Amino acid sequence: MHPREGWGPAGMSDTLLACRDCGQLHRAPGSVLAGKGLACVRCGSNLSRYPPLPIEVALALATTALILFLLANAYPIFLVSLEGRAGQDLLISGPLRLSEYGGPFAGLGMLVAGLSFVVPLVWMCLVVIVLAGLRWGDPALHARFAPLWKTALLLYPWSMLDVYLLGTYVAYTRLAEAVETNVATGGYALGALVLVQALLVLTLGRRRVWDLIADPRPVAPRPGEPWVACEICQLVLAAPATEAPRAERRCPRCATHLAPRQRGSLSVTLALTSAAAILYLPANLLPVMTVERFGQVSTYTILAGVEELLHLGLWPLALLVFFASVVVPMAKLISLAWFLHMIRRRSGRWLRERTRLYRFIDFVGRWSNIDVFMVSILAASLQFGFLTTVDPEAGVVSFAAVVALTMLATAAFDPRLMWDAAEGELR
């Protein structure tokens, strides 16, 4: 990739920021980097910044989150009772219940366990270890935390306790119509955990942590020199020669393979989007769950679930689920197809809007899992035999696959290619 002009003479305290969305390089003096929101001059996207709070605050929040996670798992989220029979919902109840159905449902159970238990737990542990190590460890050994921090960043989009909480809320509201329900200790812990985690993400500052792991300035390219930005840690450095040995084509900070753009981005995005589009039909046409009450069986598709919420008069919730489960997956499929089409046409129209839309679908994509979590929670907590029983159906497996595939497709898509294509730089 050609270096862009106009980033002035090098100053030792300056940091180079390459926009993740359009590839524009910026030079930010150290004083500007702290606390202020910086926007890309070319596409308007947010450039990462240092949060104003010290790293100790983030460490305290991460530790609190870990304790709350233990509480949320040790105690039930809510209790249910029907005609003298009692049940409870633990965080892990859904996956355990799904695994009993075997086949694809066991796979779904593993996915739910991963998104709501394994990934959040590993993520929180990694954050605590890295922050504690950077705070108290020998600065000469800070580089050792790079693989851990890289893993934490890769896991983060799949840590879905916030989405899970909303799924629990929808499940709880639907349950409250049929049986007696009470929020329990685990539920309060989960609510507090989601809040603490949101604060933690705000105070963390990915770039600050990377810059504590290794100072980016010594490897900064000289003005006019070809450069490359690391996909993972955003380090900007002089582009290695194409014939350089493999080891030299890795990021010196996080060991990621250096490439000007995500490799195979367009073909992988196309493959994943097509697979998701095929599964979109069964995901919406097949029932996602069956409810049996006093021998009467009713099946629910995603849309029927929304309708039921409307019938119950819970229209804000109905609107939310409709948006997350129906609008978002569809919007992701259409947007990704549109981006690919515009790149093929080398079009320069609506570049800023397309970039903004990309960031939006990347941000909201994970919320489509509300329904997956809801079905898993209902199946786990409503097992009262003849009185009321909920079972998952094939549609929820397709639906979960659509959500996962579109999330992967969005992650594989490199928005900078839209800008390259418009400027005729795409090879």
Binding site for Zn ion (CB under 5 A): 19, 21-22, 24, 40, 42-43, 45, 230, 232-233, 235, 251, 253-254, 256
In SS3 terms, 154-211 reads as HHHHHCCHHHHHHHHHHHHHHHHCCCEEEECHHHHHHHHHHHHHHHHHHHHCHHHHHH
- Inter-axis angle of helices 55-74 and 206-213, nearest 10: 110
Q: Given the complex with Zn ion, which of 46 and 267 has the nearer CB atom?
A: 46
The least distance separating Zn ion from the CB of residue 45, rounded to whole angstroms, comes to 5
Q: Are 198 and 68 in contact (CB under 8 A)?
A: no
Cα 353 to Cα 347: distance, rounded to the nearest angstrom: 13
The least distance separating Zn ion from the CB of residue 7, rounded to whole angstroms, comes to 14
Residues 6 or more apart whose CB falls under 8 angstroms from that of 413 comprise 265, 266, 269, 336, 339, 358
Q: Given the complex with Zn ion, which of 22 and 372 has the nearer CB atom?
A: 22
Residue type at 111 in one-letter notation: L
Cα 15 to Cα 217: distance, rounded to the nearest angstrom: 7
The least distance separating Zn ion from the CB of residue 400, rounded to whole angstroms, comes to 32
The least distance separating Zn ion from the CB of residue 125, rounded to whole angstroms, comes to 22
Our separate counts of H helices and E strands in the chain read: 17, 12
Q: Given the complex with Zn ion, which of 315 and 363 has the nearer CB atom?
A: 363
The least distance separating Zn ion from the CB of residue 38, rounded to whole angstroms, comes to 11
Q: Are 354 and 418 in contact (CB under 8 A)?
A: yes
Q: Given the complex with Zn ion, which of 235 and 397 has the nearer CB atom?
A: 235
Q: Given the complex with Zn ion, which of 255 and 268 has the nearer CB atom?
A: 255
Q: Given the complex with Zn ion, which of 98 and 209 has the nearer CB atom?
A: 209
Q: Are 2 and 425 in contact (CB under 8 A)?
A: yes
Residue type at 218 in one-letter notation: P
Q: Given the complex with Zn ion, which of 212 and 302 has the nearer CB atom?
A: 212
Cα 120 to Cα 165: distance, rounded to the nearest angstrom: 13
The least distance separating Zn ion from the CB of residue 21, rounded to whole angstroms, comes to 5
The least distance separating Zn ion from the CB of residue 419, rounded to whole angstroms, comes to 8
Q: Are 288 and 396 in contact (CB under 8 A)?
A: yes
Cα 332 to Cα 406: distance, rounded to the nearest angstrom: 7
Q: Given the complex with Zn ion, which of 230 and 277 has the nearer CB atom?
A: 230
- Inter-axis angle of helices 119-136 and 146-155, nearest 10: 150
The least distance separating Zn ion from the CB of residue 97, rounded to whole angstroms, comes to 41
The least distance separating Zn ion from the CB of residue 42, rounded to whole angstroms, comes to 5
Cα 419 to Cα 261: distance, rounded to the nearest angstrom: 12
Q: Given the complex with Zn ion, which of 40 and 402 has the nearer CB atom?
A: 40
Cα 263 to Cα 24: distance, rounded to the nearest angstrom: 19
What are the E-state strand segments in 257-343? Answer: 289-293, 296-300
Q: Given the complex with Zn ion, which of 109 and 216 has the nearer CB atom?
A: 216
- Burial label, 255 (beta-carbon count in 10 A; 0-12, 13-18, 19+): middle
The least distance separating Zn ion from the CB of residue 199, rounded to whole angstroms, comes to 27
